[in-house]
Amino acid sequence: MQGSMSKDVMTTLVVSAALIWALPLMVSTYTLTILIIYGMLGLSLGLIWGFGGIICFGQAAYFGLGAYTYAIAAINFGESTIPMLLAVIVPAIFAALLGLMMFYGRLTDVYLGVITLVVMLILFKFINSTAGPQYVIGNARLGGYNGIPGFQTLNVPGDPSAYIWGDAYFYVCAVMLALVFILVSALLRSSFGRIAVGIRENEIRMSLMGYDIRARKTILFSIGAAIAGLAGALFANWSEIVTPSLFSLRQSAEIIIWCIVGGFSNRVGPIFGAAGLAYIKILLGQQSMVDNTLIMGIILVVFVLFLPKGLVPAVAELWNISFGRRKRGASRSGRRVRNRGKANG
């Protein structure tokens, strides 16, 4: 298992390095940066929904919380290191508290979806209504629908005047995504990750095995929120302004669509889904002939109807068929022995 993990890390590093080198030759680093951030956001939902079976319709809440936490802390601290950490911690704690209420309250499936959606809409409403001067945290005015502009962006730790921006910021975001991907891979290979997949498959059976599914779901939900929070902080640095639209229904719906199109139950699907669809949206935004929402809707319908597992699993399946790799379990004799299964994505 340790060998597989090293192989996974090496593959991630090599693929990441190749993409970091090749992609800027085709697309501007400014655009690539936002695609990476969205990829990280997609991965956060893919982790909790695809591997933990937690239906979350409000993942944008943690993205927005991360962005706002960063902006508010950056104004107060005047540098970016502690705000970056807070942007991960605050959404994680918020999700842990929400998770405790939901999972220990024995809410399941669609109710989870509704609650997470409603919480996100409450945050949206709340932030929108904070335009008055009385809504201040330290030196930071929340700004209502105008959002918070003009905060300290990412700097070299310990040196607030050494800003990281432009191409350098793209490399930082790319490395962060690679690191998050490696950490998620390690998590899914661990006992915790395998148990989470078991819970996704059959909660009652896992409970009858003696696992407290409520605690594990809360932890996984919190980890997903932490990743979304990090993506939010990176987004805040990229856009240099945070607005209530980060908590919007549209934002949350897009995250779900990215994951459906890319494929939920694997690690790379949500990243490719997010980056691919966000890039298409950017391209469509440069023309006025067709409404890009319509195109996005058509893409979603096509995928739901014809590739319900998503693009990446479909390509992987096609690869296996084309190159003659036997599907596990197709035959009961001479089956290739593996010590871990698809639980690890």
Partner 1 sequence: MAEIVLETQGLTMRFGGVVAANNVDFTLHARELRCLIGPNGAGKSTFFKCVTGLQTPTEGQVFMRGEETTQWMSHEIASLGVGIKTQNPNVLDSLSVFENIWLAARRFHTPIEANHKSQEIIERLALSSIARADLGQLAHGERQRVELGLVAVGDPWLVLLDEPAAGMSAEDVERMTEIIHELNKSAAIVIVEHDMQFIRSIAENVTVFHQGSVLMEDHVDLVMADQTVRNVYLGKKA
Q: Residue 308, interface with partner 1 (CB under 8 A)?
A: no
To the nearest 10°, report the CA torsion of 230, 236, 239, 244. Answer: 110
What number of chain residues touch partner 1 (CB under 8 A)?
31
Binders of partner 1 in range 177-196 (CB under 8 A): 191, 194-195
Q: How far is the CB of 164 from partner 1 (least distance, A)?
A: 40
Q: Residue 2, interface with partner 1 (CB under 8 A)?
A: no
Q: Residue 3, interface with partner 1 (CB under 8 A)?
A: no
Nearer to partner 1, 191 or 288 (CB): 191
Q: How far is the CB of 257 from partner 1 (least distance, A)?
A: 24
Q: Residue 309, interface with partner 1 (CB under 8 A)?
A: no
Q: Residue 201, interface with partner 1 (CB under 8 A)?
A: yes
Q: How far is the CB of 198 from partner 1 (least distance, A)?
A: 5
Q: Residue 289, interface with partner 1 (CB under 8 A)?
A: no
| Part of the chain binding partner 1 (CB under 8 A), chosen from 70-78, 111-119, 120-128, 327-335 | 327-335
**C-beta separation of 284 from 292 below 8 A:** yes
Task: Write each residue from 202 to 231 as x if it is in contact with partner 1 (CB under 8 A), else as -, in one continuous string.
Answer: x-xxxxxxxxxx------------------
Candidate residues 161, 287, 288, 339; the one interacting with partner 1 per rule CB under 8 A: 339
Q: How far is the CB of 344 from partner 1 (least distance, A)?
A: 10
Q: Residue 6, interface with partner 1 (CB under 8 A)?
A: no
Distance, in Å, from the CA atom of 153 to the CA atom of 138, rounded to the nearest integer, reads: 18
Task: Write each residue from 268 to 287 as x if it is in contact with partner 1 (CB under 8 A), else as -, in one continuous string.
Answer: --------------------
Q: Residue 336, interface with partner 1 (CB under 8 A)?
A: yes
Q: Residue 102, interface with partner 1 (CB under 8 A)?
A: no
Nearer to partner 1, 31 or 108 (CB): 108
Q: Residue 329, interface with partner 1 (CB under 8 A)?
A: yes
Q: Is the dihedral of CA 245, 247, 252, 258 positive or negative?
A: positive
Q: Residue 240, interface with partner 1 (CB under 8 A)?
A: no
Q: Residue 328, interface with partner 1 (CB under 8 A)?
A: yes
The amino acid present at 201, given as its one-letter code, is E
In 3D space, the residue among 222, 206, 177 whose CA is nearest the CA of residue 65 turns out to be 222
In 3D space, the residue among 58, 115, 59, 43 whose CA is nearest the CA of residue 259 turns out to be 43
Number of neighbours of residue 320 by Cβ within 10 angstroms: 13
Footprint of partner 1 on this chain (CB under 8 A)? 1, 191, 194-195, 197-198, 201-202, 204-213, 328-329, 332-333, 335-343
